[in-house]
Structure 1
Amino acid sequence: MMAADTGRDGDGAGDRRGGRGVTGAGATVGTHTPTARSARRPEIEGLRGLAAVLVVLYHVWVGRVSGGVDVFFLLSGFLVVGMLARTAIRGAAIDVVGTWTRLFWRLVPTAGLVLLASTIAAAVLLPPSTWSRNRHELLAAVGFVENWRLAADAVDYYASNGAASVAQHFWSLSIQAQCYLLAPLLVLLVAWWARARGADVRAALIAALSAVALASFTHSVLATASDQAFAYFDARTRIWEFALGGLLALVVDRFVLGRRTRAVLGWGGVAGLVTCGAVLDVGAAFPGYLALWPVLSAAAVIVAGRAGAGDRLLTTRTAQYLGRISYPLYLWHWPVLVVSLVLSGRAVAGAVDGLVVVVLALGLAVVTHHLVEEPLRQVSVHGRRLRAPVLVALPLLPALVALGVWSAAAAASTGPPVAVGDPDHPGAAILLQAHAPISEVAPVRPAIAQVQDDWAQYRDGCAPVEGHPVLEECVPVRAEGEPQRRVTVVGDSHMQQFLPALEPLARERGWEVRTLVRARCPFATTSESDPADSTCVEWNAAAIEHLAADPPDAVVTSATRDVRVGLTEQTPDGFVAAWQRLDGLGIPVLAVRDNPRYDHRPSECLERHGRGAPECEVPRGDLLAADPPYALRDDVPSGVAFLDLSNEICTPATCPPEIGNVLVYLDDNHLSASYSRTMSAAVRQQVPTLLGW
């Protein structure tokens, strides 16, 4: 990450002879007497190098979060916010645009180079099944909004499936860039307010940064407890780390500590950083209050100063050099790791291939530092009011062009969508005995590069349900005139993927189809996906109340769940209880047997081993019992009929990833919308009879 480099720009905020960072007016950290403000802080450079190495090692071999990124955030606040604060305290004008230009000139060229290389590597070396996610996240990284992209995907069930992209690590750089945009504005506003009222600027900045830190930390704790997946990437949960760094820059010169105290702080801080990821499972409960561990550890090193820990560790030549290359090292290590894992087919790196990743990332970082970073530091963009922003943005242009070319090429190779009756792509229809032979050379549809996006898109006529704000009802199929029947599909995303199979029948018969669908919430009176989460219970209770108030002619929902290898399929008690509620209301139920789930993506197996590979075909008997679990229950209401489409998803012997030249699954458990559509003939044959219509 960037962190300490920015401290060398402007208003004497760093020693141009090589120092990174400053202490504030009047004293070097940890000393007893005032010294020049630009005194070198080599332990900060070493601290940055240590944080980068921890990030790399934990990512490559441990598979856990190290807390090193939080150190970068603290250092950025210490150096950048501290620099701006000292400018304001001296009464000098803060050049907001000039500050932005200088800060982003440090960030953008290296980021642009890594993004360009990552785009090319992903397009050439990674399998098509990963392309869509990589393109989306690379584009977000170019705009420094990758953290918000990941935050949205973390809570968007339909986007959160899949391996990490080569740009995922840009979430932290995105937060840093966003804070860089805000920092000059905050300091400028507080300084203006203080001067307008004759107040002390330093005191006003301390108060403002304290308020920001407290508000952000409180939000971080609360947000992490309620929705950790979103909070992890939320910039608001990390701002307190920047603000704390700025506060530290303003008050650190007030600390007068003895050598022994500094040594305890310094070495304690280093030990805290090294052990953070090993001791805490920070990936599952971060940031929240746990982020205090790495942040306070780094703060302890800063307060201790050079005499605290740097003399023996952080000020060594190796630590200093790692600090200087820490930014390109951070940016390069992740795409190198992701590409390595995908090409090797491993989930985690081993000892040898992990070492290759580290050495390659180090080599790229060294080359980038000497051939890109150092030469560009001699290029001044300060003062070029009109041309400077354009010059700063130019290094991102090649990556944007590469993404555009890649997207256009992918779109051109997609092919037309699968239509019902397509002779070359019959999908499930080929399992009907009467179906004619098909072309064995027809390309698979949807294309593997697009299959992960093949969700059933039914967002027409969606509106909140009056009296039940947690519900949203959509009307994806409307009849011309008065509908002959009204059918409501209720449940989770598996029921959403059933809609393409139902739609042709509904349009043919003049039915109106409504949906009450919520991801991860199958229709039940209990929480089946997460027993500790009551959200689905509340949602389903509201759904039953709404159905009671406006009863349809039938409800279509799931009959089973958890169809996996080992014959784990079940019809939970909560399912039956929900059916009993509807039966008491006189509403018929059509319950659909669930499709199999896998511990891998069938389309990726096909991609890896080839079409028709036996390795990708799971024996049907390992997934589906001859008698479905609902057939073994004696408490199923008489008003429930069951639709079993297992013969349309699996052959008599196996459950393959491709049937009739159509990919069956979009991920590891959802039918592709294209394949679901090809099951419409079976639905047309069975559903009217099952419902007695």
Structure 2
Amino acid sequence: MLAPEARTARIARVVPTPGATTREDPSRWRPELQGLRALACALVVIYHVWSDRVSGGVDVFFVITGFLFAGQLVRAAERGTLDLVTTWGRMLRRLVPTTAVVLAGCVVAGWFVVPESRWPQTIREVGASALFLENWRLAADSVDYYAAHNTASIVQHLWSLSIQGQFYLLFPLVVGLLALLARSSRTPVRHVVVGALAGLTVVSLAYSVYLTGTDQKLAYFHSLTRLWEFTLGGLLGLLIAGVALPAGVRVAAGWIGVVALSVCGLVLDVEGGFPGYLALWPVLAACLVLAAERTGSAIGADRWLSSAPMQYLGRISFPLYLWHWPVLLLALLATHREQAGLVGGVLVVAVSLALAALTDRFVDQPMARARRWRGAGYRSGAIAICAVLLLTAGWHAVALARATPSGVPGDANHPGAAALAPGFVYRGEPDPKPIPPAVSAYEDWVQYQGDCTSAAAEPGLERCTYVAAPRPDAPTVVVVGDSHMQQFLPALAPVARERGWRIDTLIRPGCPFSTTSESNVGEVACIDHNRAAIDDILRTRPDAVVAAASHDVRTGDTETTGPGMLDAWRILAGADIPVLAVRDNPRYGYPPSSCVDNYRRGAPECNVPRTDLYPATPPIRSMELPPTVSYLDLADWICGPRTCDPEVGNVTVYLDDNHLTATFTASLAPVVGPRLAALVDR
């Protein structure tokens, strides 16, 4: 999001005169920039509220930021007045207080509105946003920007402000170093900076195209895939001086840019393909408007962009961008809706505009006047960041206090999977709290209790110990496959500890055990991992191997047992190594717990028909299995006879959209233990 610092920016421009010479007018106003900001912000708000598509407005903010900031820094460097401390202080004063006010509002409102199951992620993201690291937080969590609104974070939109903050921090350093280089080589500063920006633009755009094609989720939030948008804007700002385009060309360029930007989200279906080369559309559209400048024409786009309403909307666009997303998300959570709708969307926009106007009046404008206070930027920034972090720490303390489970899987109040056994009679309290508690369910991952080392004969293969054996010659069970098998470990642990077995793992997320890749994600890496895992198993000869019997259990009868999975079992059968093949759990495409958040515990709206997920006959039944392979169908212990529910026996089944909670898999131990023992003791 473009910082409000730009609202008072003056653009230095070389203005042609009747003679052959030119003069620089450093006080020339560019009111159409404010209008362009208004248009970009309006598109972002409209698309967020009423559409699931990307508008391209954020890319425009990046271009304008580079356009203004590069020129300011280069002019200061040319005058010899570039002061990094003052530059950073000014940006802290303009960015941080307003952002802190919005984040504080998100913490207070989130406490009352955001469901507890989403507290941990929201708390992490608020802290990251306060430090301008939200884009890296989202990248680390592999967040899908295109996911449904009702599953997103209330501060997710601050990824763009984080990238902008990082640019404001690092770019003055770059210009300062380039200025030193220019002076030492007796080269004009502007020439050196232009050359550097051109190189950065090419490299960053190429990297953006590459990473978008290989890992789009990471590319969307990666700072380097967006850098070229800033540097291209900077190049335009530095090169436009002295270029006098014909008036007709500038009028046409302005309107082409405005129209192209306005229809970008309608024409381009950018899901899965952004930023990459598709980001060129909004970026070049913004460049056309910037290149058009003030045409002086009654029919120029700049006349509309310079109008009073657009100027005011541009002035409050920074707080409007910050407020509209949490207002939208909080409204959806409070009303238990997935979309705002026409009337609801209008109310969201109205509230966002009111909050933006108030923030501009009581925060932005006073901080703009604070430039006369020496050190005001650093003091205000530090105070604001500390206040947000303290609020976040308080929220985190409350979350920790509520994270203590009220029981253990298998007790009278929390039978878990045992509640699906034929003839089961519940004898616990009438309405106990579920385990794990909602506030910690998302964190209920299996934690390894042993050391992880590279396999002796396969250095690239990580072998971990989940249950240590009391003696070196104890029976060993190896669990191999993807993260679903990692989450399955608590179902195996009790029988292993009872009988003194060792449980080792050969886990790689996204890679079911197979001789081929069972998904398009990391195809080569999965093949290499599984080949190494097979070699390691054949070398160490464990007493049993546990692996998935199927994968891709989704709505629409998609469950598959790939030929590569059967081939892997046959290889182990040739060495007389028994395999327990476990039927995979369903994948929903949304966290089942989010449905409980939107409705209530036990709501029928959250119960998915079992036949929508599990076919009546598992695909493995049509295959001829080696005699050493034992098939374990857990469908009857994950789903009821008719529906698959988000909670079974007062135990939360899923921690996200496709991983079982460690607590629930622990409740499967009475079912799994005897089957595994039969293989090991054969």
Q: Which residue of 2 aligns with 1:325?
A: 316
Q: Which residue of 2 aligns with 1:602?
A: 592
1:664 paired residue among 634, 641, 653: 653
- Offset of residue 245 of structure 1: 2.0
SS at the partner of 2:394?
helix
What is the CA–CA distance in structure 2 between the aligned matches of 1:565 and 1:193, rounded to whole Å?
60
**Equivalent runs, 1:641-656 vs 2, <5 Å:** 641-652=630-641, 654-656=643-645
Q: Which residue of 1 aligns with 2:51?
A: 62
Q: Which residue of 2 aligns with 1:2?
A: 2
**Larger CA deviation: 621-630 vs 450-459:** 621-630
Task: Please tell me whether residue 185 in structure 1 is matched to residue 173 in structure 2.
Answer: yes
SS at the partner of 1:379?
helix
**Equivalent runs, 1:470-619 vs 2, <5 Å:** 471-530=461-520, 533-564=523-554, 568-598=558-588, 600-619=590-609
SS at the partner of 2:463?
strand
Change (3 A) 1:270 1:467: farther
SS at the partner of 1:37?
strand
- Offset of residue 440 of structure 1: 2.1
**Larger CA deviation: 74-83 vs 372-381:** 372-381
- Offset of residue 108 of structure 1: 0.8
- Offset of residue 143 of structure 1: 0.9
Change (3 A) 1:305 1:469: farther
What is the CA–CA distance in structure 2 between the aligned matches of 1:509 and 1:563, rounded to whole Å?
33
What is the CA–CA distance in structure 2 between the aligned matches of 1:197 and 1:35, rounded to whole Å?
25
**Equivalent runs, 1:238-277 vs 2, <5 Å:** 238-277=226-265
- Offset of residue 416 of structure 1: 3.2
Asked whether the equivalents of residues 477 and 507 of structure 1 are also in contact (C-alpha less than 8 Å), the reply is: yes
Asked whether the equivalents of residues 114 and 330 of structure 2 are also in contact (C-alpha less than 8 Å), the reply is: yes
1:299 paired residue among 283, 287, 299: 287
What is the CA–CA distance in structure 2 between the aligned matches of 1:42 and 1:112, rounded to whole Å?
28
**Equivalent runs, 1:129-140 vs 2, <5 Å:** 129-140=117-128
What is the CA–CA distance in structure 1 between the aligned matches of 2:506 and 2:53, rounded to whole Å?
38
Asked whether the equivalents of residues 483 and 512 of structure 1 are also in contact (C-alpha less than 8 Å), the reply is: no
Q: Which residue of 2 aligns with 1:631?
A: 621
What is the CA–CA distance in structure 2 between the aligned matches of 1:282 and 1:362, rounded to whole Å?
28
- Offset of residue 568 of structure 1: 4.5
TM-score, with length taken from structure 2: 0.92
Change (3 A) 1:459 1:268: farther
**Equivalent runs, 1:133-282 vs 2, <5 Å:** 133-154=121-142, 163-282=151-270
Counterpart AA for 1:379: A
- Count of aligned pairs between the two proteins: 675
Output one character per residue of 1:245-289: Cα deviation in whole Å (capped at 9) or x when no partner: 222222111211111111121111112211222222234212222
SS at the partner of 2:241?
helix
SS at the partner of 2:432?
coil
Task: Please tell me whether residue 45 in structure 1 is matched to residue 45 in structure 2.
Answer: no
Task: Please tell me whether residue 368 in structure 1 is matched to residue 359 in structure 2.
Answer: yes
What is the CA–CA distance in structure 1 between the aligned matches of 2:31 and 2:21, rounded to whole Å?
18
- Offset of residue 316 of structure 1: 1.2
What is the CA–CA distance in structure 2 between the aligned matches of 1:622 and 1:153, rounded to whole Å?
29
- Offset of residue 165 of structure 1: 0.3
Q: Which residue of 2 aligns with 1:12?
A: none
Change (3 A) 1:615 1:287: closer
Gap regions ≥5 residues in structure 2: none
- Offset of residue 364 of structure 1: 1.3
Counterpart AA for 2:211: A
**Over aligned residue pairs, what C-alpha RMSD do you find?**
2.8
Output one character per residue of 1:419-443: Cα deviation in whole Å (capped at 9) or x when no partner: 3553432323445568872222321
Asked whether the equivalents of residues 23 and 249 of structure 1 are also in contact (C-alpha less than 8 Å), the reply is: no
TM-score, with length taken from structure 1: 0.91
**Larger CA deviation: 202-211 vs 539-548:** 539-548
SS at the partner of 2:547?
strand
Asked whether the equivalents of residues 514 and 564 of structure 2 are also in contact (C-alpha less than 8 Å), the reply is: yes
Asked whether the equivalents of residues 55 and 69 of structure 1 are also in contact (C-alpha less than 8 Å), the reply is: yes
What is the CA–CA distance in structure 2 between the aligned matches of 1:206 and 1:142, rounded to whole Å?
32
Change (3 A) 1:692 1:629: farther
**Larger CA deviation: 344-353 vs 184-193:** 344-353
Asked whether the equivalents of residues 205 and 276 of structure 2 are also in contact (C-alpha less than 8 Å), the reply is: yes
- Offset of residue 100 of structure 1: 0.2
1:313 paired residue among 299, 304, 307: 304
SS at the partner of 1:668?
coil
What is the CA–CA distance in structure 2 between the aligned matches of 1:193 and 1:377, rounded to whole Å?
33
Output one character per residue of 1:646-668: Cα deviation in whole Å (capped at 9) or x when no partner: 34323455443323322122233
Q: Which residue of 2 aligns with 1:401?
A: 390
1:427 paired residue among 416, 433, 439: 416
Task: Please tell me whether residue 463 in structure 1 is matched to residue 453 in structure 2.
Answer: yes
1:379 paired residue among 365, 370, 377: 370
Asked whether the equivalents of residues 487 and 659 of structure 2 are also in contact (C-alpha less than 8 Å), the reply is: yes
Counterpart AA for 1:365: A
Change (3 A) 1:53 1:626: closer
Change (3 A) 1:277 1:625: closer
Change (3 A) 1:25 1:262: closer
Output one character per residue of 1:442-472: Cα deviation in whole Å (capped at 9) or x when no partner: 2111111221221112263223445656532
SS at the partner of 1:401?
helix
Change (3 A) 1:681 1:57: same
Change (3 A) 1:259 1:625: closer
SS at the partner of 1:282?
coil
What is the CA–CA distance in structure 2 between the aligned matches of 1:424 and 1:261, rounded to whole Å?
75
Counterpart AA for 2:138: L
Change (3 A) 1:311 1:568: closer
**Larger CA deviation: 281-290 vs 222-231:** 281-290
What is the CA–CA distance in structure 1 between the aligned matches of 2:605 and 2:263, rounded to whole Å?
42
What is the CA–CA distance in structure 2 between the aligned matches of 1:67 and 1:469, rounded to whole Å?
45
1:449 paired residue among 425, 433, 439: 439
Counterpart AA for 2:84: V
**Larger CA deviation: 33-42 vs 485-494:** 33-42
Q: Which residue of 1 aligns with 2:77?
A: 88
Q: Which residue of 1 aligns with 2:339?
A: 348
What is the CA–CA distance in structure 2 between the aligned matches of 1:153 and 1:21, rounded to whole Å?
40
Identity %: 47
Change (3 A) 1:672 1:161: farther
**Larger CA deviation: 540-549 vs 446-455:** 540-549
- Offset of residue 563 of structure 1: 3.6
What is the CA–CA distance in structure 2 between the aligned matches of 1:598 and 1:301, rounded to whole Å?
44
Q: Which residue of 2 aligns with 1:15?
A: none
Change (3 A) 1:415 1:638: same
Q: Which residue of 1 aligns with 2:109?
A: 121
Asked whether the equivalents of residues 16 and 23 of structure 2 are also in contact (C-alpha less than 8 Å), the reply is: yes
Asked whether the equivalents of residues 444 and 662 of structure 1 are also in contact (C-alpha less than 8 Å), the reply is: yes
- Offset of residue 150 of structure 1: 0.8
What is the CA–CA distance in structure 1 between the aligned matches of 2:36 and 2:459, rounded to whole Å?
50
Asked whether the equivalents of residues 417 and 674 of structure 1 are also in contact (C-alpha less than 8 Å), the reply is: no
Counterpart AA for 1:163: T
Change (3 A) 1:241 1:627: closer
Q: Which residue of 2 aligns with 1:675?
A: 664
SS at the partner of 2:393?
helix
Output one character per residue of 1:638-689: Cα deviation in whole Å (capped at 9) or x when no partner: 1101123334323455443323322122233322101111221222222212
What is the CA–CA distance in structure 1 between the aligned matches of 2:207 and 2:455, rounded to whole Å?
30
What is the CA–CA distance in structure 1 between the aligned matches of 2:602 and 2:460, rounded to whole Å?
44
What is the CA–CA distance in structure 2 between the aligned matches of 1:292 and 1:164, rounded to whole Å?
27
